[in-house]
A and B are shown apart, each in its own frame.
Chain A
């Protein structure tokens, strides 16, 4: 279980998160919805231990391990991986280098370069291409593949459907389902309501730095959610 408990965080004087709590379980997709500027990326960055924002109260717990205060690479090694907003691939690295930059993990769940290529055959064909030579969908697959190489138990995906063609968004839903079936816990941060609903087991809505709705998918009808999200 990866859980956020009463998290307050912000940038300097500006508090962005005001007591956010949520839980992500293995083998399930927790969708986090919210409009722009509601604190979604701030929450993801705080969970990953990135240098900003600063956590002022609350905890991020991985099982019994407290993650706040740990360096990002330790959080990654503890089993939490990040697929960041905008992909953030390494522009001067090839596809293959993205996947081998980490020493092979101790293979808790056995993610290897071969398995990533099996899951994303397009990447295998483009092994020696650089990130900027890939299509939007391929970039997203590579960002997911790179995250998997740390052999995570949980994966935080920040607006993965952003900028993708509709057909690629569908493919992405397949990828999220695959990760869930592999036993990963997925935090799926989205603005795209319908893409999130297609795969989520649980839905939370972040507004003004607070969780204003959190319920299993069955109790989160689209009409209710659109009320939070404005026009969609």
Chain B
């Protein structure tokens, strides 16, 4: 039973990491708290459901979700957010509004029923891991989460683009004074962050199911992950996701009445000692 819950926690953490890594990239570099990130996640899920269902290919659904949500992010950034550049409160309110509008749109298009992204046959059924029967698909999510962490880590730490993002997170003004045009960097990063939300939607939509309100749940957990890990930190997002994923799973099993407290209590405690999160730095 313990092994089963542990795997549940780890797989949920893997999904949280994928979604939260996109959130923390955008928050870290552009200083935008994108509260439409949950809606972008749900959009990715619905796109994966439609494309995956019609084409019969899970991979096509995943790719379509990433591309569609990256384009939605581009539209959000260029079409709306650029008019409130540098105004934190307006940015946040704008993204809240966009999230609400997207949600109503989803309700019009897909109604209130829950959908599940169809998975390929190879990932259906269960496998025996650590002595327990466990759904193959959730194991795949765990592996995919680890692979995406490694990939993102390499991009952040081994490429010039990654160095630019890290420098921008550290000191955006100085990066600009060094001669770097941040406009393009910001747009690319916003699209990458959105694509990660879309990828999360496609991955999560196959085991958590898609329904109105699913965006708010994932958004709240992502926020907690980023707050714990520290703004703009990939490693922080990974550790934050592990913490939240495991606390949430075991909290629900052991203290079902207190499950939210089990997640957010430790977060509040951590912030008392590390106000910028585990890996965060003051701006």
Mask: chain A, 41-54; 1 = CB below 8 Å from B; 0 = not: 00000001011000
- Asked whether A90 lies within 8 Å of B175 as measured between CB atoms, the reply is yes
Number of interface residues of B (CB under 8 A): 20
Q: How far is the CA of A150 from the CA of B178 in the complex (A)?
A: 7
- Asked whether A90 lies within 8 Å of B166 as measured between CB atoms, the reply is yes
- Asked whether A101 lies within 8 Å of B177 as measured between CB atoms, the reply is no
- Asked whether B170 lies within 8 Å of A101 as measured between CB atoms, the reply is no
- The stretch that binds B, out of A2-10, A76-84, A134-142, A188-196, is A76-84
Q: How far is the CB of B279 from chain A (nearest CB, A)?
A: 10
Q: How far is the CB of A79 from chain B (nearest CB, A)?
A: 10
Nearest residue (CB) in A for B166 is A92
Q: How far is the CB of A229 from chain B (nearest CB, A)?
A: 28
Mask: chain B, 160-174; 1 = CB below 8 Å from A; 0 = not: 100110110111011
A84 with B174, Cβ < 8 A, contacts A91-B281, A100-B160 known: yes
- Asked whether B174 lies within 8 Å of A101 as measured between CB atoms, the reply is no
Mask: chain A, 122-147; 1 = CB below 8 Å from B; 0 = not: 00000000000000000000000011
Q: How far is the CB of A158 from chain B (nearest CB, A)?
A: 11
By size class, the interface of chain A is 20 to 34
Whether A162 is near chain B, meaning CB under 8 Å from some CB there, is no
- The stretch that binds A, out of B68-76, B179-187, B247-255, is B179-187
- Asked whether B166 lies within 8 Å of A93 as measured between CB atoms, the reply is yes
- Asked whether B177 lies within 8 Å of A84 as measured between CB atoms, the reply is yes
- Asked whether A88 lies within 8 Å of B163 as measured between CB atoms, the reply is no
Nearest residue (CB) in A for B86 is A51
Q: How far is the CA of A82 from the CA of B177 in the complex (A)?
A: 7
Contacts of B171 in A (CB 8 A): 88, 90
- Asked whether B179 lies within 8 Å of A76 as measured between CB atoms, the reply is yes
Q: How far is the CA of A146 from the CA of B179 in the complex (A)?
A: 10
Q: How far is the CB of B193 from chain A (nearest CB, A)?
A: 18
Q: A93-B166, A101-B160 are in contact. List 18 more A-B contacts (CB 8 A).
A: A50-B173, A51-B86, A51-B173, A73-B176, A73-B178, A73-B181, A73-B182, A76-B178, A82-B177, A92-B170, A100-B160, A100-B163, A101-B178, A101-B180, A102-B178, A102-B180, A146-B178, A150-B179
